[in-house]
Amino acid sequence: MELEKKISRKKPTYFREHQEALYKSLEDKHATVEVDKSDPLTTRMTLNMGPQHPATHGVLRVLMELDGEVITKCRLDTGYLHRGIEKMAENKTYQEFMPYTDRMDYISPYSNNVALCMAVERIAGIEIPERASYIRMICCELARISSHLLWLGTMIMDAGALSYFLWTFREREKIYDIFDEVTGHRFTVSHSRIGGVNNDFTPAAVEKIRKFIREFPDELKGWHKTLDRNRIFVDRNSGVGAIDHEEAIAIGLAGPSLRATGIAYDIRTFEPYLHYADMDFVVPTRTEGDNLARYYCRMEEMAESVRIIEQCFDKMPEKGPIRVDDAKKSYPSKDEVYYSMEGLIHDFMMTDTGVCPPAGAESYHAIEAPKGELGFYIQSDGTGHPWRLKINSPSFSNLQGLETILDGEMVADTVVLIGGMDPVMGDSDK
């Protein structure tokens, strides 16, 4: 035992205080699994997973105490991607800050753009044109599909079937192509603007999106066919990491993880934004609360997203402005900038000071990002920079829940559980 202790508690060589505090906190944690201490054979091992580990989806560090292969208690250590995005926001104008939101949840950047824009629009009192909001909705739903595709691929890859990852990536490439056509970049798009969007859909882009939503349901059906009745997959996921709805609310899960426990908390219906109130869609929920339920929720959400995009195309006005025609609130169009003096001045002013919400205003706006509720709490001091901008990120909430869920599961389950929770460290670490 003494030797075991010596090996597993090797002196940390960097950030000594931090490591020691972390290990101490693991020892202090109340174990939820009662293990018979009288058995001399129950030697404990502390296993460090991460920060660089194939299954931690980035740089999450999981510190766990093992009894055989069962995790008796675990601690998550985050912050390996912490760059101080909230500090940076205080030093940028609202529009300048938008590219940073791309790099928050880098699997679905469009949702983050929209979340920031809508938060700023609410605090500054800007109404966006109808066509712009439909463009935002379509792209947000595409981003949701793309995020869930990556979740599907990585989760099954973590369970051991590598090919699914590449199959889902093939579909993701199609969405990348669409974003490439619409916005000019594969995935860090920065397409949304305060007061609208940057540019309209080109006919080629519309054609590509229509083709994608025509073909995608078949692919989805194929995955359902190979996974729903796959015994190994079902056995590995059902009952794993199960949590009931009361506990889920208490530990503050968000998004599909919360909906898998039976709580239909979806901002799109909870307090509809854009034109989601006019759309006909259901919020998929399950009651089991385990990893399989999360799988079904997300899979059904992808199908719903396709339906929403179809309805958007039906209801979208054929022509119309895509940005507010008010130079105090949004960028003027490029035509105006190139051919008129006022346009140039406005463009310059927008870049220099940007939108100025009233002093002392505080406001919150959330959208339903693929991972859950993504909200921005903004405090304004009357200038073009936010005084304080707080990001309410879904991955942060989900990771916090993960710390509770992992207790009592097996080492092999950690990977599917982390995959099933689908955290993005850039989102959670801010």
Partner 1 sequence: MLAVVLLFLLPSAAVAVYAERRVSAFIQNRYGPNRVGPLGLFQPFSDVIKLFLKEDIIPEKANRFLYILAPMIPVSTAIITVAVIPFSEFVYITNLNVGVLFLLAVASLSVYGVTLAGWASNSKYSLLGGLRAAAQMISYELPMGVALASVILFASSLSVLEIVQSQELWWNVFRNPIGFVIFTIAAFAEANRAPFDLVEAEQELVGGFHTEYSSMKFGTFFLAEYMHVVVGSMLITVFFFGGYHLPFAGYWLPEMSPLWKSILDIHVFLIKTVFFAFVFIWVRWTLPRFKFNQLMRLGWTRMLPLAILNFAVIAIILYYIS
Partner 2 sequence: MNTEIRDNILQDIREYLGDDLLELNMKQTYPLLLIPRKRIHDTCRFLKNTLHFAYLNEIIGADRFTSEDRFEVIYHLVSLRDRWRLFVKVLVDEEQPLLPTVSDIWKSANWNEREVYDMFGIRFEGHPDLRRIFLPEDFKYYPLRKEFPLLGVPGSLEMPNTTPDHD
Partner 3 sequence: MSLDRVMGEGYFTTTVDALTKWGRSNSVWPMPMGLACCAIEMMAFAGPKYDAARFGSEVFRFSPRQSDVMIVAGWCTYKMSHAIRRIWDQMPDPKWCIAMGACASTGGMHRCYGVVQGVDNFLPVDYYISGCPPRPESVINAILKIQDKIKEQQSLKLDS
**Distance of alpha carbon 273 from alpha carbon 270, whole angstroms:** 9
**Min separation Cβ 340 and partner 3, Å:** 31
Token pair belonging to 203: 């006919």
The reply to whether 425 sits near partner 3 by the rule CB under 8 A is yes
> 19: closest CA among 82, 59, 61, 60?
61
Q: Which residues contact 203 (CB under 8 A, 6 or more apart)?
A: none
- Between 169 and 387, whose beta carbon lies closer to partner 3? 169
- Catalog residues that contact partner 1 under the rule CB under 8 A: 7-8, 45, 47-48, 53-55, 69, 156-163, 166-167, 170, 230, 232-233, 235-236, 410-415
Q: Does 48 bind partner 2 (CB under 8 A)?
A: no
419 is a site residue for partner 2 (CB under 8 A):
no
Question: Is the previous residue joined to 51 through a cis bond, with omega within 30 degrees of 0?
Answer: yes
Q: Are 355 and 126 in contact (CB under 8 A)?
A: yes
**Tokens, residue 413:** 């389950």
**For residues 21-37, b (16+ Cβ closer than 10 Å) or e, as one string?**
ebbeebeebeeeeeeee
Comparison of 324 and 415: residue with beta carbon closer to partner 3: 415
Q: Are 171 and 216 in contact (CB under 8 A)?
A: yes
With beta carbons less than 8 A apart as the criterion, state whether 100 and 85 touch. yes
Binding to partner 3 (CB under 8 A) within 29-68 occurs at 51-54, 58-59
Which of 198, 168, 196 is CA-nearest to residue 182? 198
The reply on whether position 83 binds partner 3 by CB under 8 A is yes
Contact between 9 and partner 2 per CB under 8 A:
no
| Triad 147, 148, 151: Cα angle to 5° | 95
Q: How far is the CB of 218 from partner 1 (least distance, A)?
A: 15
CB of 169 to partner 3, least distance (A): 4
C-beta of 43: minimal distance to partner 1 in Å?
Answer: 12
106 binds partner 3 (CB under 8 A): yes
| DSSP secondary structure letter of residue 373 | E
Beta carbons of 153 and 169 less than 8 angstroms apart: yes
Q: Residue 369: helix, strand or coil by DSSP?
A: strand
> Which of partner 1, partner 2, partner 3, none has residue 17 at its interface (CB below 5 to 8 Å by kind)?
partner 2
Where in 238-277 is the site for partner 2 (CB under 8 A)? Answer: 249-252, 263, 265, 270-271
188 binds partner 3 (CB under 8 A): yes
By CB under 8 A, the residues from 333 to 362 that bind partner 2 are: 361-362
Judged by beta carbon distances under 5 to 8 A according to partner kind, the member of partner 1, partner 2, partner 3, none in contact with residue 278 is: none
Residues that bind partner 3 (CB under 8 A): 13-15, 51-54, 58-59, 79-85, 87-88, 99-100, 102-103, 106-107, 150, 165-166, 169-170, 172-173, 176, 186-188, 425-426
